[in-house]
Amino acid sequence: MKHFELKGQTRQVGNKATIKAFRKQGLIPCNLYGNGVDNILFTVDAKEFGALISTPYSHIVDLVLDGGKKYTAILHELQFHPVKDNCLHVDFLAVDEKKPIAINVPIKFEGHAVGVQKGGKFVQSARSLRISALMNDLPDDITIDITKLDLDKKVKAQDVKVEKVAILTDKDAVLCAVKTTRNVDTTAEATEEAAAE
């Protein structure tokens, strides 16, 4: 999994006015905790942070605070403004390369489903999977081959197998499917009529 370096400055506990002042300066208030790390309050530049969340991929975040202290973390929780959609607050979770890390990774589908070639419609139900693995084993994404997916068939989380990776998403969660359409019925009728003639 890719790493993303993010620089920040530690801060003191502040009231609403202090937090507002940070945001006016283009800074986002953040917390870092977990994995034996005492809760650390800090701010990051909103534009730099925007580069981290502007892609569909997840990252291991290499936090550099006050120009020197380094921490390895993942994004845990983000709060956005309900109207402006700008990020208001971020919680980071400290992680250790020797312990399994739970994180969401995007799903990529490859191949042409046989059910679609028969006239069915491919429906994607999920964009990511929750997985757990050691840091060095975390994939950038999970690729699912849908070539053999036939009409009215589904791919569930339990069908995904990745070496050295545990799938945490509910095993019955549907990731994608091929649904029968009217086009399929019409094709079937035409085939039957041609056979009868």
Q: Are residues 78 and 156 in the same domain?
A: no
d(CA 189, CA 170): 39
pLDDT in tens, 1-28: 999 999 999 998 878 888 889 999 999 9
- Where among 78, 96, 114 does a domain terminate? 96
Q: Are residues 133 and 188 in the same domain?
A: yes
Q: Are residues 179 and 160 in the same domain?
A: yes
**For residue 102, what are the β-bridge partners?**
132
Q: Are residues 122 and 189 in the same domain?
A: yes
d(CA 122, CA 182): 14
Mean pLDDT value across residues 57-69? 93
Q: What is the DSSP letter of 171?
A: T
Strands (E), 11-136: 27-34, 37-45, 60-65, 69-80, 87-94, 101-110, 121-124, 128-133
pLDDT in tens, 112-171: 999 999 999 999 999 999 999 999 999 999 999 999 999 999 999 999 999 999 999 999
pLDDT in the model for residue 12: 85
**Residue 113: helix, strand or coil by DSSP?**
coil
Q: What is the mean pLDDT of the chain?
A: 91
Number of neighbouring beta carbons within 10 Å of residue 89: 14
Q: Are residues 22 and 87 in the same domain?
A: yes
Number of structural domains in the chain = 2
d(CA 129, CA 191): 40
Mean pLDDT value across residues 35-54? 93
pLDDT in the model for residue 175: 97
- Where among 72, 96, 120 does a domain terminate? 96
Q: Are residues 85 and 119 in the same domain?
A: no
Q: What predicted TM-score, i.e. pTM, was given to this entire model? A: 0.82
Q: Are residues 30 and 116 in the same domain?
A: no
Q: Are residues 143 and 72 in the same domain?
A: no
**Residue 24: helix, strand or coil by DSSP?**
helix
Range of the domain at 57: 3-96
Which pLDDT band, with edges at 50, 70 and 90, does 196 fall under?
Answer: low
d(CA 71, CA 32): 9
d(CA 33, CA 42): 11
